[in-house]
Amino acid sequence: MPTTYRHRGAISLALFTAASLAACEREARRLNQQPPPGPPVTFVSQSPLQPGPTVVTDTAEGEFDDNAYNTSEGQTLYSQMNCSGCHSNGGGNMGPALMDDEWLYGSKPNQIFASIAEGRANGMPSWKYRLTNKQIWQLVAYVRSLSGLTPKGARPARSDHMMVSSPPNQTPNAKPRNSGLPGASQRP
């Protein structure tokens, strides 16, 4: 009996510690980080079919996707950079919708990073000289939260605006489909 109890105690202690550590990461706000020296944007691949060496950035997925503060900063940037001008509040208009499960250029963080940083055909401008890497990763986290690709605990709730679409914390967890525009992968 006592051993079982001890085991149980140890397990619950471990679970508890794990939960707290997860919370630490999810709630962390790393405010004062020195920017990396060198050019503004790491070179990223546009598509797997690209000729030459494929360089994929380190995505630091957890630091952004599973972090409430970074996702929220991404949300702020989304409205400040007027992303809604084309993508609306995720519903899409001139640009494609961001809150559905369909992804023209891939739904992985580094793919979305590439879309934002390098821009895409049909009007998506390149942001790599206007935003920092960190800001783009924050946007990536927010964009992914819109379609339920990031951990639920880190997704934002409604914002103080008119309600036009359901907030990320209500979006069900989605399985993305990479549809691809006809011939999209051939474009540089």
Applying CB under 8 A, the residues found at the interface with other proteins are: 20-21, 23-24, 26-29, 31-40, 68-69, 71-72, 75-76, 80-81, 129-132, 134-135, 153-154, 156-163, 166-167, 169-170
Partners of 103 in the β-ladder:
178
Q: Tell me which residue of 66, 24, 22, 59 sits closest to 42, measured CA to CA.
A: 59
Shortest Cβ distance from residue 33 to other proteins (Å)?
7
Q: Which is nearer to other proteins, 66 or 106 (CB)?
A: 66
Q: Which is nearer to other proteins, 151 or 180 (CB)?
A: 151
Shortest Cβ distance from residue 63 to other proteins (Å)?
14
Which burial class, exposed, middle or buried, applies to 5 when counting CB atoms under 10 A from its CB (0-12, 13-18, 19+)?
Answer: exposed
Compute the residue count for the chain.
188
Which SS3 state, helix, strand or coil, does residue 27 take?
A: helix
Shortest Cβ distance from residue 152 to other proteins (Å)?
8
Task: Supply the DSSP symbol for 152.
Answer: G
Q: Which is nearer to other proteins, 93 or 170 (CB)?
A: 170
